[in-house]
Chains A and B, each alone.
Chain A
Amino acid sequence: ILNVEQSPQSLHVQEGDSTNFTCSFPSSNFYALHWYRWETAKSPEALFVMTLNGDEKKKGRISATLNTKEGYSYLYIKGSQPEDSATYLCAFIRNTGNQFYFGTGTSLTVIP
Protein backbone atom coordinates (compact mmCIF):
# COMPACT_ATOMS: atom_id res chain seq x y z
CA ILE A 1 0.00 0.00 0.00
CA LEU A 2 1.40 3.36 -1.02
CA ASN A 3 0.65 6.20 1.42
CA VAL A 4 0.31 9.84 0.50
CA GLU A 5 -0.36 11.88 3.58
CA GLN A 6 -1.51 15.46 3.88
CA SER A 7 -1.46 17.61 6.97
CA PRO A 8 -3.21 19.23 8.58
CA GLN A 9 -6.55 17.63 7.76
CA SER A 10 -8.29 20.98 8.15
CA LEU A 11 -7.32 24.55 8.80
CA HIS A 12 -9.18 27.75 9.66
CA VAL A 13 -7.35 31.04 9.11
CA GLN A 14 -8.28 34.69 9.16
CA GLU A 15 -8.42 36.66 5.95
CA GLY A 16 -4.96 38.10 5.26
CA ASP A 17 -3.08 35.34 7.09
CA SER A 18 -0.50 33.30 5.26
CA THR A 19 -0.65 29.55 5.60
CA ASN A 20 1.00 26.38 4.42
CA PHE A 21 0.35 22.68 4.39
CA THR A 22 2.24 19.51 3.65
CA CYS A 23 2.06 16.53 1.34
CA SER A 24 4.25 13.53 2.20
CA PHE A 25 4.92 10.75 -0.28
CA PRO A 26 7.39 7.89 -0.85
CA SER A 27 10.88 9.10 -1.70
CA SER A 28 11.53 6.25 -4.14
CA ASN A 29 10.34 5.81 -7.73
CA PHE A 30 9.28 9.45 -7.99
CA TYR A 31 7.86 10.69 -11.27
CA ALA A 32 5.64 13.68 -10.51
CA LEU A 33 3.66 15.44 -7.82
CA HIS A 34 0.44 17.32 -8.59
CA TRP A 35 -1.53 19.81 -6.52
CA TYR A 36 -5.26 20.35 -7.03
CA ARG A 37 -7.76 22.78 -5.54
CA TRP A 38 -11.30 21.53 -5.01
CA GLU A 39 -13.94 24.10 -4.23
CA THR A 40 -17.35 23.05 -2.96
CA ALA A 41 -19.81 22.16 -5.73
CA LYS A 42 -17.07 22.36 -8.36
CA SER A 43 -14.61 19.89 -9.83
CA PRO A 44 -10.95 19.64 -8.75
CA GLU A 45 -8.74 22.07 -10.60
CA ALA A 46 -5.03 21.58 -11.27
CA LEU A 47 -2.70 24.04 -9.56
CA PHE A 48 0.78 22.68 -10.14
CA VAL A 49 2.61 19.78 -11.77
CA MET A 50 6.04 19.31 -10.22
CA THR A 51 8.64 16.92 -11.53
CA LEU A 52 12.13 17.97 -10.38
CA ASN A 53 13.67 17.96 -6.92
CA GLY A 54 13.90 21.55 -5.74
CA ASP A 55 11.09 22.70 -8.03
CA GLU A 56 9.30 25.84 -6.95
CA LYS A 57 6.10 26.86 -8.68
CA LYS A 58 4.02 29.98 -8.22
CA LYS A 59 0.55 31.04 -9.30
CA GLY A 60 -0.48 34.41 -7.92
CA ARG A 61 -0.48 34.15 -4.12
CA ILE A 62 -0.07 30.37 -4.15
CA SER A 63 3.28 28.65 -4.40
CA ALA A 64 4.64 25.15 -3.92
CA THR A 65 7.99 23.52 -3.29
CA LEU A 66 9.16 19.97 -3.84
CA ASN A 67 11.72 17.77 -2.09
CA THR A 68 11.81 14.36 -3.76
CA LYS A 69 14.77 13.07 -1.74
CA GLU A 70 12.88 13.33 1.54
CA GLY A 71 9.42 12.90 0.04
CA TYR A 72 7.48 16.06 0.76
CA SER A 73 5.93 19.07 -0.90
CA TYR A 74 4.69 22.27 0.71
CA LEU A 75 1.87 24.46 -0.56
CA TYR A 76 1.92 28.08 0.59
CA ILE A 77 -0.85 30.65 0.38
CA LYS A 78 0.14 34.25 1.04
CA GLY A 79 -2.49 36.69 2.32
CA SER A 80 -5.38 34.19 2.32
CA GLN A 81 -8.69 35.36 0.89
CA PRO A 82 -12.16 33.85 1.40
CA GLU A 83 -12.10 32.61 -2.19
CA ASP A 84 -9.10 30.43 -1.27
CA SER A 85 -11.45 28.30 0.86
CA ALA A 86 -11.31 24.83 -0.66
CA THR A 87 -9.85 21.38 -0.20
CA TYR A 88 -6.29 21.10 -1.48
CA LEU A 89 -5.30 17.68 -2.77
CA CYS A 90 -1.89 16.37 -3.72
CA ALA A 91 -1.29 13.39 -5.96
CA PHE A 92 1.91 11.35 -6.29
CA ILE A 93 2.79 9.52 -9.50
CA ARG A 94 5.42 6.78 -9.58
CA ASN A 95 7.81 6.18 -12.45
CA THR A 96 6.51 2.60 -12.70
CA GLY A 97 2.95 3.27 -13.86
CA ASN A 98 0.23 5.78 -14.60
CA GLN A 99 -1.65 5.67 -11.32
CA PHE A 100 -2.21 8.88 -9.37
CA TYR A 101 -2.10 8.33 -5.60
CA PHE A 102 -4.09 11.06 -3.91
CA GLY A 103 -3.88 12.22 -0.33
CA THR A 104 -7.02 12.84 1.69
CA GLY A 105 -6.65 16.58 1.30
CA THR A 106 -6.37 19.65 3.50
CA SER A 107 -9.61 21.57 3.96
CA LEU A 108 -8.91 25.30 4.21
CA THR A 109 -11.48 27.78 5.48
CA VAL A 110 -10.61 31.47 5.29
CA ILE A 111 -12.68 33.54 7.68
CA PRO A 112 -13.50 37.08 6.50
Chain B
Amino acid sequence: ETGVTQSPTHLIKTRGQQVTLRCSSQSGHNTVSWYQQALGQGPQFIFQYYREEENGRGNFPPRFSGLQFPNYSSELNVNALELDDSALYLCASSFRPSASPLHFGNGTRLTVT
Protein backbone atom coordinates (compact mmCIF):
# COMPACT_ATOMS: atom_id res chain seq x y z
CA GLU B 1 0.00 0.00 0.00
CA THR B 2 1.15 3.55 -0.75
CA GLY B 3 1.87 5.62 2.34
CA VAL B 4 1.17 9.29 3.02
CA THR B 5 3.39 11.63 1.05
CA GLN B 6 3.80 15.36 1.53
CA SER B 7 5.37 17.99 -0.66
CA PRO B 8 7.49 19.96 -0.54
CA THR B 9 9.71 18.75 2.30
CA HIS B 10 11.11 22.21 3.01
CA LEU B 11 9.95 25.68 2.10
CA ILE B 12 11.13 29.21 2.83
CA LYS B 13 8.70 32.10 2.40
CA THR B 14 8.64 35.73 3.41
CA ARG B 15 6.08 37.38 5.63
CA GLY B 16 2.87 38.26 3.80
CA GLN B 17 3.26 35.61 1.10
CA GLN B 18 0.94 32.68 0.50
CA VAL B 19 1.85 29.00 0.55
CA THR B 20 0.26 25.74 -0.56
CA LEU B 21 1.26 22.42 0.98
CA ARG B 22 0.21 19.12 -0.54
CA CYS B 23 -0.59 15.69 0.80
CA SER B 24 -1.40 12.38 -0.85
CA SER B 25 -3.29 10.13 1.53
CA GLN B 26 -2.73 6.42 1.98
CA SER B 27 -4.75 4.32 -0.45
CA GLY B 28 -8.15 3.39 0.94
CA HIS B 29 -8.24 6.34 3.37
CA ASN B 30 -11.02 8.91 3.03
CA THR B 31 -10.07 11.27 5.88
CA VAL B 32 -7.18 13.75 5.97
CA SER B 33 -6.12 15.91 8.91
CA TRP B 34 -3.53 18.65 9.05
CA TYR B 35 -1.40 19.52 12.07
CA GLN B 36 1.03 22.28 12.91
CA GLN B 37 3.94 21.46 15.15
CA ALA B 38 5.84 24.46 16.44
CA LEU B 39 9.13 24.04 18.28
CA GLY B 40 8.67 22.44 21.69
CA GLN B 41 4.99 21.71 21.22
CA GLY B 42 2.89 18.75 20.27
CA PRO B 43 1.06 18.68 16.95
CA GLN B 44 -1.84 21.17 16.94
CA PHE B 45 -4.96 20.27 14.98
CA ILE B 46 -5.67 22.65 12.09
CA PHE B 47 -8.60 20.93 10.37
CA GLN B 48 -9.88 17.65 9.02
CA TYR B 49 -11.49 16.73 5.71
CA TYR B 50 -13.75 13.74 5.29
CA ARG B 51 -14.99 12.84 1.82
CA GLU B 52 -14.11 16.29 0.49
CA GLU B 53 -15.94 18.23 3.23
CA GLU B 54 -14.38 20.04 6.18
CA ASN B 55 -15.19 17.88 9.19
CA GLY B 56 -13.72 19.80 12.10
CA ARG B 57 -11.45 22.75 12.67
CA GLY B 58 -9.03 23.70 15.39
CA ASN B 59 -8.23 27.16 16.74
CA PHE B 60 -6.62 28.56 13.60
CA PRO B 61 -7.59 31.77 11.77
CA PRO B 62 -9.45 31.74 8.42
CA ARG B 63 -6.22 32.43 6.53
CA PHE B 64 -5.57 28.71 7.04
CA SER B 65 -7.75 26.94 4.50
CA GLY B 66 -7.84 23.57 2.83
CA LEU B 67 -9.23 21.32 0.18
CA GLN B 68 -9.72 17.62 -0.28
CA PHE B 69 -9.96 16.23 -3.78
CA PRO B 70 -12.00 13.28 -5.12
CA ASN B 71 -8.93 11.04 -4.87
CA TYR B 72 -8.73 12.11 -1.17
CA SER B 73 -5.47 13.99 -1.59
CA SER B 74 -5.45 17.34 0.14
CA GLU B 75 -3.99 20.84 0.19
CA LEU B 76 -3.32 23.24 3.02
CA ASN B 77 -3.22 26.91 2.04
CA VAL B 78 -1.94 29.64 4.28
CA ASN B 79 -2.40 33.28 3.27
CA ALA B 80 -0.66 36.37 4.61
CA LEU B 81 2.12 34.37 6.22
CA GLU B 82 3.35 35.47 9.63
CA LEU B 83 6.64 34.68 11.33
CA ASP B 84 4.78 32.47 13.86
CA ASP B 85 3.60 30.25 11.03
CA SER B 86 7.11 28.80 10.89
CA ALA B 87 6.62 25.17 11.89
CA LEU B 88 6.48 21.58 10.75
CA TYR B 89 3.18 20.85 9.02
CA LEU B 90 2.03 17.26 9.23
CA CYS B 91 -0.64 15.60 7.18
CA ALA B 92 -2.29 12.41 8.40
CA SER B 93 -4.81 10.17 6.70
CA SER B 94 -7.14 7.61 8.20
CA PHE B 95 -10.01 5.36 7.24
CA ARG B 96 -12.54 7.03 9.52
CA PRO B 97 -12.55 10.48 11.16
CA SER B 98 -11.68 9.62 14.76
CA ALA B 99 -11.78 5.88 15.45
CA SER B 100 -8.86 4.80 13.29
CA PRO B 101 -5.15 5.42 13.87
CA LEU B 102 -3.58 8.25 11.93
CA HIS B 103 -1.01 7.55 9.23
CA PHE B 104 1.35 10.48 8.99
CA GLY B 105 3.50 11.87 6.22
CA ASN B 106 7.02 13.09 6.88
CA GLY B 107 5.89 16.69 7.08
CA THR B 108 6.72 19.98 5.41
CA ARG B 109 9.11 22.29 7.23
CA LEU B 110 7.97 25.88 6.59
CA THR B 111 10.20 28.79 7.48
CA VAL B 112 8.79 32.32 7.27
CA THR B 113 11.34 35.13 7.25
Secondary structure call for the A interface:
strand
Given contacts A42-B106, A104-B41, contact A99 B101 (CB under 8 A): no
In Å, the complex CA distance between A101 and B48 comes to 13
A-B CB pair tally, cutoff 8 Å:
63
In Å, the complex CA distance between A42 and B100 comes to 20
Chain B 43-75, CB-CB to A under 8 Å as 1, else 0, gives 111001010000110100000000000000000
In the complex, the answer to whether A43 meets B44 with C-beta atoms within 8 Å is no
Q: How far, in Å, is A42 (CB) from chain B's closest CB?
A: 7
Interface residues on B, range: 20 to 34
A97 proximal to B (CB < 8 A): yes
Chain A residues lying within 8 Å of B90, measured Cβ to Cβ, are 43-44
Given contacts A98-B97, A102-B43, contact A43 B48 (CB under 8 A): no
In Å, the complex CA distance between A31 and B4 comes to 25
Residues 77-113 of B at the A interface (beta carbon under 8 Å): 90, 92, 97-107
In Å, the complex CA distance between A44 and B106 comes to 8
In the complex, the answer to whether A32 meets B41 with C-beta atoms within 8 Å is no
Q: How far, in Å, is A97 (CB) from chain B's closest CB?
A: 6
In Å, the complex CA distance between A74 and B47 comes to 28
Given contacts A31-B98, A99-B58, contact A44 B104 (CB under 8 A): yes
Chain B residues at the A interface, C-beta cutoff of 8 Å = 4, 33, 35, 40-45, 48, 50, 55-56, 58, 90, 92, 97-107
Chain A residues at the B interface, C-beta cutoff of 8 Å = 4, 6, 31-32, 34, 36, 42-46, 49, 51, 89, 91, 93, 97-105
